[in-house]
């Protein structure tokens, strides 16, 4: 079996072919990480906001993928399957962090703003910080949908496979999220 010699990301078929070979499993997994680590990182980062937390969640995500990849049956796209794992890991992380705050939403938003300002890998302006704070106040599902649509520009059909929700429900969630964020900015005199 020949390994790819250029830096062009490998196709899913090629990655899975390597992963199913005992001899090339580890190389196959490195190919998988090379192909998807940036997309998965940014998806997670926008959910958990700080680089340090995103790094933890991403590494846990890859460990879960590593352990489960041979059970991947190809019923969905590899990308969709990994997105789902990353999303679940990020949600679990956010839920455990939320339990640490006793917690009115304002407390949670305040804690997030503090963490964001302390994160050396965030250099956004006041509006960008406000957007993160507004997103943190959304219900979990709306926040996910907003992230996937607003930042990842994921089509609704693909999002439907990741979140196991109908396209109509996803469009409604996005619309509600947009309206709530707009309302948040209006209340804070940015509009």
CB of 9 to other proteins, least distance (A): 13
The least distance separating other proteins from the CB of residue 46, rounded to whole angstroms, comes to 7
* Smallest gap from residue 26 Cβ to other proteins (A): 8
Please name the residues in contact with 32: beta carbons below 8 A apart, sequence gap of 6 or more: 15, 19, 65, 69, 78
Q: Which is nearer to other proteins, 104 or 191 (CB)?
A: 191
Count CB-CB contacts under 10 A for residue 191: 9
- Nearest distance in Å: CB 67, other proteins: 6
- In the complex with other proteins, the residue whose CB is nearer, 75 or 99, is 75
CB of 34: closest distance to other proteins in angstroms?
7
What is the biggest distance separating any 2 CA atoms in the chain, rounded to whole angstroms? 61
Nearer to other proteins, 103 or 158 (CB): 158
Asked if residues 77 and 52 have their Cβ atoms less than 8 Å apart, the reply is no
Of residues 56, 120, 66, 119, the one with CA closest to residue 93: 56
Query: Of 48 and 104, which CB lies nearer to other proteins in the complex structure?
Result: 48
Nearer residue to other proteins within complex by CB, 103 or 183? 183
Q: Which is nearer to other proteins, 14 or 27 (CB)?
A: 27
Residue ranges that bind other proteins, judged by CB under 8 A: 22, 25-26, 30, 33-34, 37-38, 41-42, 45-46, 49, 51, 55, 58-59, 62-63, 66-67, 70-71, 73, 121-125, 127-129, 131-132, 149-151, 153, 155, 174-175, 178-179, 181-182, 185, 190-191
Give dist(CA 53, CA 41) in Å, integer: 11
Half-sphere exposure at residue 10, Cβ-oriented, CA atoms within 13 angstroms? 22
Q: Cα separation of 129 and 185, whole Å? A: 11
CA dihedral 147, 153, 157, 161 (to 10 degrees): -50
| Shortest Å distance, C-beta 58 to other proteins | 7
């Amino acid at each position: 079996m020949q390994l790819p010699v250029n830096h062009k990301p490998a196709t899913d078929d090629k990655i899975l072919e390597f992963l199913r070979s005992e001899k090339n499993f580890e190389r196959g997994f490195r190919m998988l990480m090379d192909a998807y680590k940036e997309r998965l990182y940014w998806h997670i980062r926008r959910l958990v906001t700080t680089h340090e937390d995103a790094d933890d969640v991403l590494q846990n995500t890859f460990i879960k993928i590593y352990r489960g990849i041979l059970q991947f049956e190809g019923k969905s796209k590899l990308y969709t399957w990994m997105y789902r794992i990353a999303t679940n890991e990020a949600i679990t992380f956010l839920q455990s962090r939320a339990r640490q705050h006793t917690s009115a939403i304002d407390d949670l938003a305040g804690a997030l703003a503090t963490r964001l300002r302390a994160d050396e890998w965030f250099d956004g302006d006041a509006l960008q910080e406000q957007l993160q704070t507004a997103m943190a106040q959304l219900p979990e599902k709306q926040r996910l949908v907003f992230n996937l649509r607003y930042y990842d520009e994921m089509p609704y059909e693909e999002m439907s496979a990741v979140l196991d929700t109908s396209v109509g429900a996803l469009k409604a969630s996005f619309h509600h999220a947009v309206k709530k964020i707009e309302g948040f900015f209006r209340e804070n005199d940015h509009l």
